[in-house]
């Protein structure tokens, strides 16, 4: 995947490319949960009409990265503590079973793709870009759901993964993402071996581990103006 930052308004920005750029900015913690996403301001930043911005914000609201309230406009979603637990509990219910199904269906092309995801994640970490690593690790989970071939569940998982990124942005307490790297390697190996039972167990313990890495007392997040966050 190529990086889309859309820093120059002269680039031909579409609602999809703007949605992708905003999603990445949220994952990279450049825009904090709760930040207001003002249509006029975004239209100016990206050099497009408000209609294009509105379409981007709507697509982000479908995966619950953005909340749109009548008369109040759009803001980056800000999940509560209760919701943080619920999201991880839902993932712990869905994803181990999905990993099991994926192990039964996975092809060598799928394995190569998952390995590329892990390499990209490592590269992001080495480049001191943990936000991008977080974004890529989400895509890794979505990819396993896609391999499992259950479109309905994959849709739920995509929403939960997007929600998890916000939760991690708010409540993450672990400095290193090293465990994640090992967990993903072990998962890919189990899928390559078509060992469904092991893939299921590894996915469950990986999610329990992520859940336990949330700090439920403290919030962090820095405030940048939209312009500073999106044009840097
Ligand atoms: Zn993971």
Q: Provide the residue ranges of all domains of the chain, joining segments of one domain with +.
A: 15-78, 81-212
How many angstroms separate the alpha carbon of residue 138 from the centre of ligand 1?
Answer: 7
Q: How far apart are CA 59 and CA 177, in angstroms?
A: 29
Distance from residue 56's CA to the centre of ligand 1 (Å): 26
Residues belonging to the chain: 232
Distance 118 CA to ligand 1 centre (A): 10
- As a CATH number, domain 15-78 is 1.10.10.10
Radius of gyration of the chain (CA): 18
pTM: 0.72
How far apart are the CA of 183 and the centre of ligand 1, in A?
Answer: 7
Each residue's pLDDT tens digit in the chain (232 positions)?
A: 444 444 444 456 899 999 989 988 887 778 888 899 999 999 999 999 999 999 999 999 987 889 999 888 999 988 888 888 899 999 999 999 999 999 999 999 999 999 999 999 888 888 877 777 778 888 899 999 999 998 999 999 998 988 887 787 667 665 554 456 789 999 999 999 999 999 999 999 999 988 887 765 545 445 556 777 676 5
* Distance from the alpha carbon of residue 140 to the mean position of ligand 1, in angstroms: 7
Alpha helices (H) along the chain: 15-27, 39-46, 50-62, 81-105, 108-126, 130-148, 151-171, 178-192, 196-212, 226-231
Q: Do domains 15-78 and 81-212 have the same CATH topology?
A: no
214 DSSP 8-state letter: B
CATH 1.20.120.530 fits 81-212, yes or no: yes
């Amino acid at each position: 995947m190529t990086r889309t930052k859309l820093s120059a308004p002269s680039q031909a920005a579409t609602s999809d490319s703007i949605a992708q750029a905003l999603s990445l900015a949220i994952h990279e913690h450049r825009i904090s949960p709760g930040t207001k996403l003002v249509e006029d301001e975004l239209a100016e930043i990206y050099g497009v009409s408000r209609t294009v911005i509105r379409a981007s914000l709507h697509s982000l609201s479908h995966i619950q990265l953005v909340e749109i309230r009548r008369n109040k406009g759009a803001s980056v979603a800000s999940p509560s503590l209760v919701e943080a637990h619920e999201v991880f509990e839902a993932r712990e219910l869905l994803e181990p079973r999905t990993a099991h199904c994926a192990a039964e269906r996975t092809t060598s092309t799928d394995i190569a793709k998952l390995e590329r995801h892990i390499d990209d994640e490592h590269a992001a970490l080495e480049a001191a870009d943990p936000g991008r690593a977080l974004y890529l690790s989400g895509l890794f989970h979505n990819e396993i759901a896609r391999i499992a071939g259950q479109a309905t569940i994959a849709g739920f998982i995509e929403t939960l993964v997007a929600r998890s990124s916000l939760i991690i942005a708010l409540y993450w307490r672990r400095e290193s993402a090293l465990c994640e790297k090992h967990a993903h390697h072990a998962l890919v190996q189990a899928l390559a071996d078509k060992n469904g039972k092991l893939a299921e167990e590894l996915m469950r313990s990986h999610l329990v581990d992520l859940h336990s890495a949330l700090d439920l007392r403290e919030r962090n997040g820095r405030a940048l103006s939209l312009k500073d966050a999106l044009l840097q």
